[in-house]
Amino acid sequence: MILSQFIILGAALFSLGVYGVLTRRNAVLVLLSVELMLAAVNINFVAFDVFLRDSIAGGQIFSLFVIAVAAAEVGIGLAIVLLIFRNRQSANVDELDLMKL
Amino acid sequence: MLQLLTNLNTIILATEEGGGHAEALSDGGVLASMAWLIPVVPMVAAFAIVFFGKKMPYKGWDIAIGVMAFEALYGTVLLLSHISNPIAKDFSVEIAKIGDMAIEWGWSVDGLSIMMYFVVGVVGFLVFAYAKGYMEGDIRFTWFFASFTLFAGGMLVLVSAPNFIQLIVGWELVGVASWLLIGHYWEEHENSSAAIKAFLTNKVADVGLFIGAIMISMSVGSFRFSDVMHAIEEGAAHSPVLAQFAFWAGLALFIGAMGKSAQFPLHVWLPDAMAGPTPVSALMHAATMVTAGIYLVGRMFPLYAVEGFADEVRWIIITIGALTLFLTGLIALVQDDIKKVLAYSTLSQLGYMMAAMGAGAYTAGLFHLFTHAFFKALLFLGAGSVIHSVHSNNMSDMGGLRKHMPQTFWTFAIGSVALAGVIPFAGFWSKDEILASFEYAGGHYTAAQGGAALGTAVLWIAIAGAFVTAFYMTRTVWLTFFGEYKGKAHPHESPKIMTYPLIGLAVGSALFGFINWPGVTHVFTDIVGGRAYEGFHDLEHHAESLNAVLALLGLAAAGLGWYLGWRIWGPDRETQAERDTFKVNGLYPVLEKKYYIDDAYMNGVIKPIRGPIAAAMNWFNGHVLDFIVNGAGLLMKSFGKVVYWFDQRGVDGAINASGAVTGAGGGMLRLLQTGKVQQYAILIFAATVVLVAGLVIWF
């Protein structure tokens, strides 16, 4: 197999995710972009697992973990976004500057 | 503690055949090995009373009486066990070492110690019980019992000591506690001076104790009494160093004993010690403190008894004892303060004990100590009961109290006849043994010991002393309990907590003489004998039977004293005033001035020392100390200015600068905090990219 194809795919996907996180104003899209970054990580995990012929398939197992964590994260994240929207009638992250004192 | 017990260096004296005491001495079993409780419990309790006494239902008295009940019980059990099966054992725990000499803490369980445990415990218990009634309402009630417990505890440390170091510790504890107690009513200057006088007089004598203890310990190479006794037992030829120093060491120890046991001319502190509360006087004069000197001579008795050692000191001891017993007895005749009469009487009786020790009569001297402890405690407590009732110490404010305070009267009367040596009360038996010992000394004293004539002379002085004793006790009883009441208060019988101890002591004063009836019983001889006789044959002479001539002489002297006292102060004199002002011209002024000894000390020793020293101190204080203090003050002031400048400019500047820098830094950094999440994310990604790039380039 050609490892570089998968790594390039992963890097491209990760960069897309970063771009989305930094430029999108809608909190739901920011979350989606985070999911893209996690998917890139998963691709890397699986690719290296196969490339290195890991006997206990650690990379694949970890990618399953990441998927589980990502699902949980999205669940909580969307719940927060929903609450923020209910309170402010907006999901624009630029308006969420309460962390500034 | 168990571990300590297992690590003990125990000495079991090899049992040898001693003069008539062939039965083996036991180690006393658990009763003896747990006897460390005897000195330790009251010492701990004294501190417990200081810290927790005020919170107790009886304000600390309950702790004190509990401790004394324990002491009395332990002492009694130990004594009974000792009578049935003589005990002699020392326990020592090493706490430090100087060269080859071990400094040890220990407890001695032998006849002499057990006798003292019993006396201190039983008399102490009764006095402590009495003291609750007497001290009721005192502002320093709790503190009093703390010091009182310390006093008894110090004495128990002293008598339990198996070595010189511990003996000195106990000795000084007793001294400190006596200072606290004599000065209990320190609001009056007179009382605090009396406390200081007692302390300093004892300190002067203590120098003798230290020198004697050091000389003996150094020449034997051990602080232990058992090693000293062993060296003496081997004889002068085997212990040449000790034999060489024995005379001076024995004399020095005796000077120490003279201080605590108030022998002439170091007796001056004791009458003044009456400034303390009456229970203190009772315990001090009976079971603790003044008996310490007699105990010391008793403990070191073989040193004074065996030829080639300090036996030549004995003629000094007997002379001092005889002087004390006669001269101080006479002073008691002119005292108006009932406690002072008893104080001088104590001096006189201590003279008897000391003279008996000097005559080589170990048992007789200690037996008198034993019986005296009971009847003198009784007399003091009786006097305290009277004082409590009439609110005055002076017999000129008493009189006729027989009807008002019958229990006090009867017990006081028993104490008086016991003191006067009337058959069959305790004092008769012990005094008779002492007279017999003087008679023996009169026949057997060698020239080195002062000669036989000295013994005979002391015998007659002692008989004259018996006369004086009866004389002043008759006067005291008469002026206090007979005639008309002269005071202004309303006399009443004391509460039961005070009269019951009186009855207990009266029983002891009446009966304890029988335990050493010459030729019939020898319980006391066996009690104090056991260990002391071991290894020493014919250490002292024992009367085979009651010496009828001496007994009659003693009784006749007492009878004459009683008769004269009754003639002079009795009811058949014309008027009360005439009885009160009875005087013997020439003699009485001298007695009232106490032979000018106190004046001599004041003018001859204290003032010459105090005057120049005080002036020198004043000059030194005004010129040297003040100069130093002022100079130091000025120096500190200028130094302070430097420090102030440094503080304002240096320290404050540094702190302000650090504050300013932090503030400015914060002002710049706060620009980074925008609250925009994506800006933060950019920063994080940028930083990550920089870090990763750095990592890639680096490797």
As given in the structure block, the two tokens for residue B399 are 């009189």
Provide the pLDDT confidence category of residue A92 given band limits of 50, 70 and 90.
Answer: confident
Percent of chain B past pLDDT 90, that is, above it, reads 10
User: What CATH number has the domain spanning A3-90?
Assistant: 1.10.287.3510
Q: Is residue B513 part of a domain?
A: yes
Nearest to A21 among B675, B676, B681 (CB): B681
pLDDT for the residue B538: 63
Number of domains in chain B: 2
Q: Is residue B553 part of a domain?
A: yes
Q: Which chain A residues are Cβ-neighbours of B674 within 8 angstroms?
A: 97, 100
Q: Which chain B residues are Cβ-neighbours of A23 within 8 angstroms?
A: 678
Q: Is the pLDDT of residue B2 over 50?
A: no
Last residue of a domain, one of B532, B559, B592: B592
Strand partners for B337: B394
* A3-55 pLDDT per residue, tens: 889 999 999 999 999 999 989 888 899 999 999 999 999 999 999 999 998 88
User: What are the C-alpha distances in Å from B213 to residues A75, B51, B165, B398, B628?
Assistant: 93, 35, 8, 47, 42
Identify whether residues B544 and B651 lie together within a single domain: no
Provide the pLDDT confidence category of residue B19 given band limits of 50, 70 and 90.
Answer: very low
**Rounded to a whole number, what is the distance in Å from the CA of B695 to chain A's nearest CA?**
18
- Name the range with the highest mean pLDDT among A46-60, B89-103, B515-529: A46-60
As given in the structure block, the two tokens for residue B10 are 């125990």
For residue A99, give the chain B residue with the closest CA.
Answer: B675
Give the pairing type, strands B89-98 and B9-11. antiparallel
Identify whether residues B575 and B618 lie together within a single domain: no
Identify whether residues B364 and B433 lie together within a single domain: yes
Provide the pLDDT confidence category of residue B577 given band limits of 50, 70 and 90.
Answer: low
Identify whether residues B586 and B603 lie together within a single domain: no
pLDDT for the residue B1: 42
**Rounded to a whole number, what is the distance in Å from the CA of B680 to chain A's nearest CA?**
9
Whether residues A99 and B678 touch (CB distance < 8 A) is answered with no
Per-residue DSSP letter, B543: -
As given in the structure block, the two tokens for residue B344 are 């001088």
B696 touches chain A (CB under 8 A): no
Identify whether residues B570 and B641 lie together within a single domain: no
Q: Is residue B101 part of a domain?
A: no
CA–CA dist B283, B293 (Å, integer) = 15
* B303-355 pLDDT per residue, tens: 888 877 777 888 888 888 888 888 888 888 888 888 888 888 888 899 989 88
Nearest to A94 among B673, B676, B682 (CB): B676
Q: Is the pLDDT of residue B532 over 90?
A: no
pLDDT for the residue A1: 66
- Name the range with the highest mean pLDDT among B58-72, B548-562, B584-598: B58-72
pLDDT for the residue B580: 57
Identify whether residues B401 and B514 lie together within a single domain: yes
Provide the pLDDT confidence category of residue B575 given band limits of 50, 70 and 90.
Answer: low
Nearest to A97 among B675, B682, B685 (CB): B675
Domain, as residue range, for B229: 159-592
Element (H, E) at B91: strand B89-98
Nearest to B678 among A22, A100, A101 (CB): A22
Last residue of a domain, one of B573, B592, B611: B592
Q: Is residue B30 part of a domain?
A: no
Picking from B429, B433, B451, the residue whose alpha carbon sits closest to that of residue B441 is B451
* B509-521 pLDDT per residue, tens: 888 888 877 777 7
Identify whether residues B265 and B318 lie together within a single domain: yes
Q: Is the pLDDT of residue B570 over 90?
A: no
pLDDT for the residue B8: 38
Q: Is residue B44 part of a domain?
A: no
* B588-599 pLDDT per residue, tens: 767 777 777 777
* B21-37 pLDDT per residue, tens: 434 567 777 888 888 88
Identify whether residues B562 and B633 lie together within a single domain: no
Identify whether residues B656 and B571 lie together within a single domain: no
Q: Is residue B73 part of a domain?
A: no
A2 touches chain B (CB under 8 A): no
Identify whether residues B374 and B259 lie together within a single domain: yes
Whether A97 contacts B676, CB under 8 Å: yes
User: Helices (H) and strands (E) in chain B — how many of each?
Assistant: 31, 3
- Mean pLDDT value across residues B437-465: 80
CA–CA dist B39, B49 (Å, integer) = 16
Per-residue DSSP letter, B544: S
A93 touches chain B (CB under 8 A): yes
Identify whether residues B328 and B346 lie together within a single domain: yes
Q: Which chain B residues are Cβ-neighbours of A21 within 8 angstroms?
A: 678, 681
Whether residues A100 and B681 touch (CB distance < 8 A) is answered with no
- Mean pLDDT value across residues B80-92: 84
Whether residues B678 and A94 touch (CB distance < 8 A) is answered with yes
Nearest to B676 among A18, A23, A97 (CB): A97
Provide the pLDDT confidence category of residue B576 given band limits of 50, 70 and 90.
Answer: low
CA–CA dist B514, B323 (Å, integer) = 29
Identify whether residues B181 and B269 lie together within a single domain: yes
**Rounded to a whole number, what is the distance in Å from the CA of B657 to chain A's nearest CA?**
26
Whether residues A18 and B673 touch (CB distance < 8 A) is answered with no
Q: Is residue B523 part of a domain?
A: yes
The C-alpha R_g of chain A, in whole angstroms, comes to: 17
Nearest to A97 among B674, B681, B685 (CB): B674
A28 touches chain B (CB under 8 A): no
Percent of chain B past pLDDT 70, that is, above it, reads 91
Q: Which chain A residues are Cβ-neighbours of B682 within 8 angstroms?
A: 22
B682 touches chain A (CB under 8 A): yes
* B380-419 pLDDT per residue, tens: 888 888 888 888 888 777 777 888 888 888 888 888 888 8
Q: Is residue B308 part of a domain?
A: yes
**Rounded to a whole number, what is the distance in Å from the CA of B677 to chain A's nearest CA?**
7
**Rounded to a whole number, what is the distance in Å from the CA of A99 to chain B's nearest CA?**
5
Last residue of a domain, one of B592, B624, B648: B592
Q: Which chain A residues are Cβ-neighbours of B676 within 8 angstroms?
A: 93-94, 97, 100
Nearest to B675 among A22, A23, A100 (CB): A100
Q: Is the pLDDT of residue B191 over 80?
A: yes
Q: Quote the mean pLDDT of chain B.
A: 82
**Rounded to a whole number, what is the distance in Å from the CA of B655 to chain A's nearest CA?**
27
